[in-house]
A = this chain, B = another copy of it.
Amino acid sequence: LHYSIAVIPGDGIGPEVMEEGLKVLGAIEESHGGIRFARDVMDWNCSYYLQHGKMMPENGLSILKDYDLILLGAIGAPEVPDHVSVWELILPIRRAFQQYVNLRPVKLLKGLESPLRYKGHADLDFVVVRENTEGEYSNMGGRMHQGTPYEMAVQNNVFTRYGTERILKYAYSLAEKRSKKSVTAATKSNGINHSMPFWDEIVKEVSKEYPEIQTNLYHIDALAAYFITRPETFDVVVASNLFGDILTDLGAAIVGGLGLAPSANINPERTYPSMFEPIHGSAPDIAGKGIANPIAQVWSLAMMMDHLDLPELSAVIMNAIENVLQDGKVLTPDLGGTATTKELGDEIVRHIYQG
């Protein structure tokens, strides 16, 4: 087996956690003969932007298109407005490659404690399916009356039937493969009266095609609260781009922190490369200190293995992570330890060779 990966370490702690991710990838290759991941590192990030006036080369997307997979660290630096760095790199990739599924597990790993007083491992194990190409993240809109007291900005949320149906169908198909047979859809049709009632209608239509799956439709405000009060009731949660973004950071918080949460930007048809990344940002405040938690990045590699239909390699990585957490001896500061990024990465690698 041979796969090609475009590696974009990015900014801030991105390159720091990516280094550990690549180490883990190397360990997988070495310890499990027969698999090869050829990797090319791209220096596309905010420094690149400051030098070239763009986040990636003109033909960046066509360069990426020829890879099987993309691995991303984190993007963003104080010197470049976030909407520039993100809109010129992450979002074009998600869209050009029709990575319309952003898959984000909310799972309490062995060895970790939830900040929720009465919730344990059995209560925290679900997955959020986030729409990843349209909705609230649209570049339609603009400003008027600049420089006057009646200046205003308008932002269009764009929901297509095509985009909404495909993400819902993905969520329901995923629910069919899981045991609870339940889909929870986030809405806000009481306050947002064009796009969200449309979303609700399509939820109702698609749900009819999956009669064995139970559907719950909750307003996003209530749903966010339920993540705290009854996370054990969820199995597959499906949400629009923005709602999925909010719910998954919240999900990361209830299973122990942003340093742990991975995500897979998937093109289910496999027409284009899929992209794997931590959900955390570039964290300029701790960048350069070598103390960032590399687990989210490493976990994203496990998601990559699942995407490649290599569940046994995914399990090797997840076991190594959970062993390290259960040992509890080599942990980064966000987990209450004093280890460096590199030490935690090395420890995961050690467990991979042992496993």
Contact = CB atoms under 8 A, between A and B. Distances in A.
Interface of A: 76, 81-83, 85-87, 91, 113-118, 136-137, 139-143, 148-162, 188-199, 219-222, 224-229, 241-242, 245-246, 248-250, 252-254, 257-258, 281
Given A81-B197, A225-B250, A191 B149 contact: no
A225 B224 CA distance: 11
A327 B106 CA distance: 37
A91 B193 CA distance: 11
A148 B161 CA distance: 9
Contacts of A162: 149-150
Contact of A222 (B154, B189, B221, B281): B281
Nearest to A153: B198
Nearest to A252: B225
B161 A198 contact: no
Given A81-B197, A117-B117, A156-B156, 4 more contacts: A85-B190, A153-B195, A155-B195, A157-B157
Given A229-B257, A246-B221, A191 B241 contact: yes
Contacts of A86: 190-191
A150 B160 contact: yes
A133 to B, nearest CB: 12
A188 to B, nearest CB: 7
A240 to B, nearest CB: 11
Given A117-B116, A159-B153, A246 B245 contact: no
Nearest to A190: B82
A162 B219 CA distance: 29
Contacts of A116: 115-117
Contact of A228 (B161, B189, B190, B250): B250
